[in-house]
Amino acid sequence: MSAPPLAKKPRTSTPGKNDDDGIPVPETTTLDYVNLTSHTDSFGVDPIPVSWGHPDPLVRGPIICTVRHSSQRNAIGAHSGSYCIYTGLAVAAGKLNPDYVPNLKLTRPVFQIGPHKSWSDPKKVASIDPFGHLTTEVYGAYLDKGFDIRPTIAITKAHIDLPETREAVAAGRLIPDGKILMPNGQSIVSKAAIEPVWYLPEIARRFGCTETMLRQSIFRMTNGMYPELITRPDIKIFLPPIGGLTIYIWGDPDTIPDEDIELTCRVHDECNGSDVFGSDICTCRPYLTHAIEECIKTAQRGGCGIVIYFRKEGRSLGEVTKYLVYNTRKRQEGGDSAENYFSCTEQVAGVQDTRFQALMPDPLHFLGVTKIHNFISMSDMKYNAIVSTGIEIVNRVEIPKELVPADAQVEITAKVFHGYNAGKAYQDIDEKELKKTVGREYAY
């Protein structure tokens, strides 16, 4: 595939602005007033060009979204997603110097990811900066020159200690090998934390709208939080104030692109109530821990296991909305029922689901995935989104029936009836089963 065209806007050729290395001299912002917004043709505005999708990171250009280089900034938004507000609080409280630049010397990734061919295809990677973990490696010359460029991906390793894994060891389902799984039940993982970085033209294409409509819709529904979405059409990169994702890997990450080596994968969306606190109204935690068990087994067979954990609480509607839906489900006439499972969400939120899955496959392409042998998910939406981007899925693995909590029968029945992959375990779910499945009653 040919590389995308380079950014058209020429760099300012003011004498002294560039050295022989072609890297511009950073212009540090030291203003004593607040500039409410900026415009494309304003005096002094000269963002570092970005040629999204170019395979050469130096030609692609660094993503600059820090406050120190307002004239050269080439992205709308701020680092750290929704946590950027806490940075503002730290500055207001006098706890953080707004001019502080992080020391990144010891932060380089502890294992390598990429580069992969998919990195240069915006149709595969448009919500992640594929070079976001290589800031010190590929943009070191910018850093040495004084630019404040922040990583959007951090890669490390860890030991994971889950009671379900210890129980699997005790039951004999998992056998410690001292490499992937320790005798105490801890498993060894490689992991990557990723902040979203959106290339707006491609995001708009995936959602079937114009870039202008996308910008206007985000601007409107955030109450004008980002005026540069409207005033700076020349800036195509947006760091949205949303949660990111974490990738957990069991086994050797280098095997992921090899289609001949077994790969097990779950894409999981955050559910604080179940994942952390064990609420039994849904299948989230048991499905997640089952996936981890399968990932460990795959890694012990010489393959690799991946769990991608998205911060999309309550189907991206938020936890407050989710709890309002819970109350509606329990209080409706006839009580909580599988038949009305989805309509209760629409009644409260106006929509069943705002996760959409158009951006979900990007981290798979970031890892170089082209084939998933075992997909630990029943979601038709996730399956369709992944295979539509060219990734092959061989087996779809449903949650074992014995792992479904008592009050989650409503959820699993409704989802299977409305299109989730039933597998062998749930083939008996029909309209009669849908109508008779009800949840626990509460006196509230």
Of 182, 187, 149, 365, nearest to 265 by C-alpha is 365
Map tokens 């001019």 to a residue.
99
What contacts 213, CB < 8 A, 6 or more positions away? Answer: 204
Determine contact, residues 332/346, Cβ cutoff 8 Å. no
Q: Are strands 187-194 and 245-251 parallel, antiparallel or unpaired?
A: antiparallel
**What's the residue count for the chain?**
444
Specify whether the CB–CB gap between 107 and 97 falls below 8 A.
Answer: no
- C-alpha distances (whole Å) from 287 to each of 296, 303, 307, 379, 404 are 14, 20, 11, 12, 8
User: 311 catalytic, yes or no?
Assistant: no
Q: Is 150 left (phi over 0), alpha (psi -120 to 50) or beta?
A: beta
Residues 6+ apart with CB under 8 A from 433: 338, 413, 417
Token look-up 């979900």 returns 360
For the residues of 399-443, what is the DSSP string, one character each?
Answer: PPGGGS-GGGHHHHHHHHHTT---TTTTTT--HHHHHH-B-----
* Angle CA 42–62–65, to nearest 5: 55
Distance CA(380)–CA(86), nearest Å, equals 37
Cβ-in-10-Å burial (0-12, 13-18, 19+) of 339 comes to middle
Q: And the tokens for 23?
A: 């890297």
DSSP class of 136: H
Task: Give yes or no: 355 in active site.
Answer: yes
Supply the angle between the helices 284-300 and 163-171 in degrees, to the nearest 10: 60
- The catalytic residue among 355, 396, 407, 440 is 355
Task: Identify the three-state secondary structure at position 296.
Answer: helix
Distance CA 377, CA 363 (A): 16
Among residues 258, 353, 380, 407, the one annotated as catalytic is 353
How many whole angstroms separate alpha carbon 363 and alpha carbon 369?
Answer: 9
1-10: b (≥16 Cβ within 10 Å) or e: eeeeeebeee
Catalytic residue ranges = 353, 355
